Structure 1
């Protein structure tokens, strides 16, 4: 009968360390692990705080730079305030000139329109006109622009009705009517006719309104 001996991997070992010592060592390892964890957390927090501080410094520098640029721009704008005031004054004066000269007209074409329809031998001896309202720009042909009287003188009697009809057909004339007929001198035999004439707003030159539009 053969007896087999159990195989041995090595010399037998016996752990004679007390269990309390093993527990203490395990606690020490756990404490060291927590110490490293806390230390790592402190380091990470410190890095985050340092990064935030650096970012704050960079942001403050950028803010200071932008504020410096803003101050420079404010200074430049302040230096241009006189120019702005001058431009505003010019604009106000231009508007005032446009309003004041809205009824500006050229007398020569107005007088020529009346004289152009007078009979041969008669003369336009005088006129007295007053401007009407400012032009609105909507319907100048129907708005009253110039109102007054004209004096026609002739050595012979004239057909005043024919003259009135001729004037009513003139461009720009709204109304014509006879006012009076007199003689300037019985010895000379000159006849004087006084006519009421109303022109529309097409007689206005519109020159100043055109200048304002061009300036804009």
Structure 2
């Protein structure tokens, strides 16, 4: 049997380079690769450092701007200290006025309520009263606001019981009672009566009371 010899195509190549040279070239190639890797790593590190430096620079600039703004605000606050002191003084004076004038009331409505229940030819001749304290509760109709005596004068004897009953029905009156009856010192032949009287705090004007916005 005859062996078939495959036809030759192209030229035969033989690597005649010595083995040490091949090893050297591979080593040089590996060295160059590692050099590039090291250079790339150094470049990345430099970029990171540059980015961090840039970030810190912007952060420092922002901090400086905020510090400048804080200094400006502190300067403005210091400039407004006199205004703040004036407002504090105004608030203290308002509170003092509200306390001092808490029992403020008008005489005309009080006198009108009294004279409305008195008989004809009867006159109010005097008062001896004191005002109550600062309102303490939510219902002024249960706290005394004006306490004392009232003097009335009449040409004829009066039914003082009926008058007292009428006074007790007057709006704002907490208490009314008779105290004494004498000869009038205003005019001879007339009668003078002294009545105990107490109004509640609904007669207070409330004009100087602190409002919710004053707190």
C-alpha root-mean-square deviation of aligned residues, in Å? 2.2
Residue number in structure 1 paired with 2:181: 181
CA shift at 1:63, angstroms? 1.4
Q: Which runs of 5+ in 1 are unaligned?
A: none
The equivalent of 1:88 in structure 2 is 88
Normalising by structure 1, we get a TM-score of 0.88
Aligned to 1:208, the other structure's residue is in SS state: coil
CA distance in 2, matches of 1:79, 1:49: 45
d(CA) in 1 for partners of 2:66 and 2:188?
A: 92
1:70-114 deviation per Cα after TM superposition (whole angstroms, max 9, x unaligned): 211121121111112211221121122111111111112112222
Q: Who is 2:165 aligned against?
A: 165
Deviations 1:14-58 (A, max 9, x none): 433221221121111111111111011101111111121112111
In the other structure, the counterpart of 1:153 is 153
Q: 1:213 aligns with which of 185, 188, 211?
A: 211
Quote the offset at 1:192 in angstroms: 1.3
Deviates more, 1:132-141 or 1:94-103: 132-141
Q: Distance in 2 between matches of 1:69 and 1:17?
A: 76
Unaligned runs of 5+ in 2: none
Q: How does 1:28-107 map to 2 (within 5 A)?
A: 28-107=28-107
Distance 1:3 1:160, change over 3 A: closer
Q: 2:191 and 2:33 mapped to 1: Cα distance?
A: 133
* CA–CA distance in structure 1, aligned partners of residues 15 and 171 of structure 2: 134
User: How many residue pairs get matched?
Assistant: 212
Q: Which residue of 2 aligns with 1:26?
A: 26
Tell whether 2:197 aligns with 1:197.
yes
* 2:108 counterpart of 1:116: no
| Counterpart-to-counterpart distance in 2, 1:51 and 1:153 | 102
Show CA shifts across 1:149-192 (max 9, x none): 0011123222111211111111111111111111136x922221
The offset of 1:61, in angstroms, is 0.9
Rounded to whole Å, the distance in 2 between the matches of 1:14 and 1:123 is 150
- Return structure 1 stretches of 4+ with deviation > 3 angstroms: 2-14
> Aligned in 2, Cα 1:169/1:13: closer, same or farther, shift over 3 Å?
closer
Distance verdict in 2 for CA 1:188–1:22, change over 3 Å: same
CA distance in 2, matches of 1:189, 1:9: 166
